[in-house]
């Protein structure tokens, strides 16, 4: 880790405070007109996305001036380099636009090839998830662990769909059918950061999705691992990275079985 313990303590404490204040912006904007704009056919952006990102960019840059900012609405590229804050100011913008509460502010700190800390704030549900590498994962200050399920049919799994869903149905539908058949059920909350946080705290036994960006997964990736889970590409064995086409996160015990359901073949043989 590129910081001393006391530095990590300070960054974690001040970073959490900044992310909590970003959640207050979401609260303040909740009942306002959303002024929705379109980045794509169903890819939305609102004034709240921009306001939260501007606030986080300013405050996190002051907290750690040497770190790059890789944020959804302003990133020129997705390479975090050696040190970066990775920011999704409003994960679940479509939910926000429709008044659905699964909306998160997600912030992760990347350093020297791995996640160092992560925060996922779901302000409308009053839930704050946090993790620092090597120190465990927490929900509202209480330690969390992944689900103890040993069978796919004893757990609920989450997924999401890319904005290019209409063009990618041939990739999306076969895994969806296999996972639906193998599990107790599938949930689609519309916010990957929330899906990963819920996997970390045991509400979901696992999560998979294709086509995500670093800001979708950075904080949640660390949360799952610090809660005792496993994160890879969807093949179940290849290490996950920001250039991965898809992500698979589970409690660890279910990893091979969920990978096989997603990929449609017996893997690791």
| Concatenated DSSP letters of 85-115 | EEEEEEETHHHHHTT-S--EEEEEEEETTEE
Query: Phi-psi region for residue 103, left (φ > 0), alpha (ψ -120 to 50) or beta?
Result: beta
Residue 235 is labelled as binding a ligand: no
259 and 173 in a common domain: yes
Residue 82 is labelled as binding a ligand: no
22 and 135 in a common domain: yes
Residue 91 is labelled as binding a ligand: yes
Q: Show which of 99, 114, 144 is a domain's final residue.
A: 144
202 and 246 in a common domain: yes
Quote the CA–CA distance of 215 and 267 in Å, as a whole number. 29
Q: Show which of 126, 144, 162 is a domain's final residue.
A: 144
Q: Which residue has the tokens 């200050």?
A: 141
Domain-embedded: residue 269: no
What is the pTM (predicted TM-score) of this model? 0.94
In terms of residue numbers, what domain contains 56? 5-144
Element (H, E) at 230: strand 230-232
Domain-embedded: residue 183: yes
pLDDT tens by residue, the chain, 269 residues: 678 888 999 999 999 999 999 999 999 999 987 777 776 664 567 899 999 999 999 999 999 999 999 999 888 788 999 999 999 999 999 999 999 999 999 999 999 899 999 999 999 999 999 999 999 999 999 999 999 999 999 999 999 987 666 777 888 899 999 999 999 999 999 999 999 999 999 999 999 999 999 999 999 999 999 999 999 999 999 999 999 999 999 999 999 999 999 999 755 43
What's CA 114's distance to the chain center, in Å?
Answer: 15
107 and 163 in a common domain: no
Contact 208, 246 (CB under 8 A): yes
Residue 90 is labelled as binding a ligand: yes
What's CA 47's distance to the chain center, in Å?
Answer: 21
Quote the CA–CA distance of 122 and 115 in Å, as a whole number. 20
Residue 265 is labelled as binding a ligand: no
């Amino acid at each position: 880790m590129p910081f001393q313990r006391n530095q990590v303590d300070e960054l974690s404490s001040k970073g959490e405070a900044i992310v909590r204040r970003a959640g207050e912006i979401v609260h303040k904007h909740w009942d306002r007109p959303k002024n929705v704009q379109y980045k794509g056919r169903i890819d939305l952006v609102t004034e709240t996305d921009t306001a939260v990102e501007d606030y986080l960019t300013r405050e996190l840059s002051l907290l750690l001036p040497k770190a790059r900012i890789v944020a959804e609405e302003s990133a020129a590229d997705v390479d975090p380099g050696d040190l970066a804050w990775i920011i999704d100011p409003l994960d679940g913008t479509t939910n926000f636009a429709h008044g659905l509460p699964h909306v998160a502010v997600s912030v992760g700190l990347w350093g020297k090839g791995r996640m160092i800390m992560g925060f996922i704030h779901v302000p409308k549900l009053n839930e704050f998830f946090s993790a620092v590498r090597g120190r465990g994962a927490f929900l509202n200050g209480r330690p969390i662990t992944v689900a103890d399920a040993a069978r796919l049919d004893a757990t609920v799994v989450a997924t999401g769909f890319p904005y290019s869903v209409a063009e990618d149905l041939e990739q999306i539908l076969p895994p969806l059918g296999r996972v639906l058949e193998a599990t107790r059920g599938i949930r689609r909350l519309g916010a990957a950061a929330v899906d990963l946080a819920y996997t970390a705290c045991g509400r979901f036994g696992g999560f998979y999705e294709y086509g995500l960006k670093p800001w979708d997964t950075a904080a949640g990736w660390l949360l799952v691992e610090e809660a005792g889970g496993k994160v890879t590409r969807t093949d179940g064995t290849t290490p996950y990275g920001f250039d991965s086409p898809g992500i698979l996160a589970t409690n660890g015990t279910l990893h091979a079985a969920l990978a096989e359901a997603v990929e449609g073949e017996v893997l690791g043989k």
